[in-house]
Amino acid sequence: MTLSTPRSPQPGLALYPQLLAPLDLGFTQLKNRVLMGSMHTGLEDGRDLTKLAAYFRERAEGEVGLMVTGGFAPNIAGWAKPFAGTLSTSGAARRHQVVTQAVHAAGGKIALQILHTGRYAYHPLAVAPTALKSPISPFKPFELSSRGVERQIRAFVNCAVKAREAGYDGVEIMGSEGYFINQFLSAFTNHRTDEWGGDYSNRMRLPVEIVARTREAVGRDFIIIYRLSMIDLIPGGSSWDEVVTLGKAVAQGGASIINTGIGWHEARVPTIATSVPRAAFAWVTKKMKAEFAAVGITTPLVTSNRINMPEVAEQVLADGCADMVSMARPLLADADFVKKAAAGQADQINTCIACNQACLDHIFKNKLTSCLVNPRACHETELVYRPVISDSASASARRRIAVVGAGPAGLTAATVAAGRGHEVHLFDAATEIGGQLNMAKVVPGKEEFHEMLRYLRRRVEVTGVHLHLGTRVQVQDLQGYDDVIVATGVVPRDPKIPGQDNAKVLSYIDVLRHHKPVGQRVAVIGAGGIGFDVAEFLVAGGHSTTTDLPAWQAEWGVTDPAQAPGGLSPAGPMVTPPEREVTLLQRKEGKLGEGLGKTTGWIHRAALKMKRVKMVGGVNYERIADEGLLVTYGEKRENPTWIACDTVVLCAGQLPLRELADALQVQGKKAHLTLHVIGGALEAGELDAKRAIDQAARLAATL
């Protein structure tokens, strides 16, 4: 629920004429060019789909043109994991009606994604064209017989029929990301010699048959989206000619819309992480659009990946890259994205920062999806921001609340509470809001944190929070409030290394906040999230490839798929020399960065390796002196080694800043105020912005 309702749709139409234009599919019309891309949320698994219905209803109310569900398997073999959501019976179709009815009641349209995972399946019943284990599942699939292939096709068709029975407006046939259909297309995973393998006309037979037979079964007035892998980003990926041949065949064979898939899941090129430039792959869809135009195919094309603001989407459409834009995570972050764009209120959009921390990383840990910047995502029925009742003595009456600390925890608590109707005063000792986010935003590849700050700043204005910057709060300043929320954050941990008073020692705050000069050879102590970020900051020397698409493509070895199959440059990633020589250290044995996000840790490690950062684990910090940092190894403190360096940066973790909270605990009782402590001030161990925001939102929802 968003508490400020956009006033008029007119301003947005002038700003985003292409994005907000309807799309006519002949038998049906979409109200605009926004397709909410498929995302598995965890709400699909199980029999009760009411929470999934609430999630989609909010997005339909937010005016999304067409939504696609997370993947549902057409049969057991196609499950992503045991007991994954499946649609194959009329009973299941009836259970889905709660979703389709909720969406239609809100004026929306929704398609069900049919996902067969093939050799990516995380269960022992997996099937594939060839019995080849994938690098992302421990289960080796069974090779399908010809009859087995026929059974899978029938399962796809049956799933589409059941989707229609359930009231869906269409289906998306998942043909990309390295799943089952993709596995037939590539000679790399298809070694068959029957009519489903061998030359490309045989390998592409599977999707063509699936689309044609689905169209025949569901009739003409039902949307069929085909998700086409336009650039595989794997060695042995499809050639551009093959991709084009397939795209034309499925368009002419019954697909209503062709959506773009980028990269197989096993690809070693980041495709959606925050360090990927915005709209980094729209040019691939544009190439396909030219191929279609050349032969008069008018099937609408959807482009995808790292499109997270209306102006980016509009530009992509204005540049002729596609007819529609797929946004998935941005609609987790803000259900009212389209409505706000239409009202000319893009500055109020809660922007997806592409961190993956609460969405994809949760799914990989078998946890329900949410969103770092919007903890209500997928929790719509349970986390509700109810307006408070004014002039009432009830528990939810208007209160006077002080929030100390304007980091993500304090900002969220303040804006949610004020948005509900409380009188809120927000204090920060600093002269700007954001707390540690102001350090995150200067790290190359983390530019999206600027958007988070813009959104929060705007929420402060819109919700009428009384903001007091440059104000260090003490206990005596907090009289007359009903509630005090302490969100004072953290202080860096002192690692107490002998010699750390040497002039060459800096903290991460000195480097990222105060921009103190750093030498050429640097030792970074501590390899948590901040140690990695500091290392990336130091080697980049002020240049971020996230805002430089050609440089980013060169860095990751991405090229035109017409030049090299799969779009991987034969020369590989282009290594540019680092700005500094950096050694990143930790005391734990083993791989550095183990605690980083499941879906992004490998990117940080790969990026630092490309910049020749030395990553050293299992050290003891013996002493810092003019010659550098002396370390030994292991419990026996063996092999003393000087790491020659000009600067040592301390990134040794954080501790809660609890001075105010502790003092209030004692004195607050006398003042009859209710004390709440959140974010880093409560617990610094494993704290991140996700936890800080979630905790703050949940507290503010209850006041």
Provide the binding-site residues for ligand NAP, judged by CB under 6 A.
357, 493, 495, 525-531, 533, 586-588, 595, 597, 651-654, 686-688
Q: Which structure tokens are listed for 340?
A: 């706000």
Distance between CA atoms of residues 52 and 62, nearest Å:
16
Distance between CA atoms of residues 468 and 263, nearest Å:
47
- Cα–chain-centroid distance for residue 584? 27
Residue type, position 593, single letter: G
The listed partner (ligand FAD, ligand NAP, ligand SF4, none) that binds 261, CB under 5 to 8 Å by sort, is: none
Q: Which of 168, 179, 385, 508 is catalytic?
A: 179
Taking CB under 6 A as the binding criterion, the range among 26-34, 373-381, 439-447, 545-553 that sits at the site for ligand FAD is 439-447
Largest Cα span, the chain: 83
354 binds ligand SF4 (CB under 6 A): yes
406 binds ligand FAD (CB under 6 A): yes
36 binds ligand SF4 (CB under 6 A): no
Taking CB under 6 A as the binding criterion, the range among 217-225, 279-287, 346-354, 518-526 that sits at the site for ligand SF4 is 346-354
Residue type, position 71, single letter: G
Taking CB under 6 A as the binding criterion, the range among 203-211, 353-361, 388-396, 620-628 that sits at the site for ligand SF4 is 353-361
Which residue number, 344 or 593, has a Cβ lying nearer to ligand NAP?
A: 593
Q: Which structure tokens are listed for 675?
A: 């004390």
The listed partner (ligand SF4, ligand NAP, ligand FAD, none) that binds 404, CB under 5 to 8 Å by sort, is: ligand FAD
Which residue number, 287 or 340, has a Cβ lying nearer to ligand SF4?
A: 340
CB of 597 to ligand SF4, least distance (A): 10
Q: Among 367, 472, 588, 669, indicate the residue that binds ligand FAD (CB under 6 A).
A: 472
How many helices (H) and strands (E) the chain has is answered by: 22, 27
Helices 529-540 & 601-610 angle (0-180, nearest 10)? 30
What backbone phi and psi angles, to 5 degrees, belong to 485?
-105, 115
680 binds ligand FAD (CB under 6 A): yes
CB of 409 to ligand SF4, least distance (A): 16
Number of residues that bind ligand SF4 (CB under 6 A): 14
What backbone phi and psi angles, to 5 degrees, belong to 54?
-65, -40
490 binds ligand FAD (CB under 6 A): yes
354: left (phi over 0), alpha (psi -120 to 50) or beta: left
Distance between CA atoms of residues 71 and 409, nearest Å:
33
The DSSP output letter for 379 is: -
Residues 276-315 that bind ligand FAD (CB under 6 A): none
Report the 10 Å Cβ neighbour count for 393: 6
Question: Comparing C-alpha atoms, which of 674, 648, 649 is closest to residue 661?
Answer: 674
Residues 355-384 that bind ligand SF4 (CB under 6 A): 355-359, 371-373
Cβ neighbourhood burial of 143 (10 Å; 0-12, 13-18, 19+): middle
Establish whether 226 is a catalytic residue: no
In sign, the C-alpha dihedral spanning 273, 549, 291, 246 is: negative
Which residue number, 260 or 488, has a Cβ lying nearer to ligand FAD?
A: 488
* Active centre residues (catalytic): 179
Residues that bind ligand FAD (CB under 6 A): 355, 357, 404-410, 427-430, 435-437, 439-440, 443, 472-473, 487-490, 512, 529-530, 533, 657, 660, 679-680, 687-690, 692
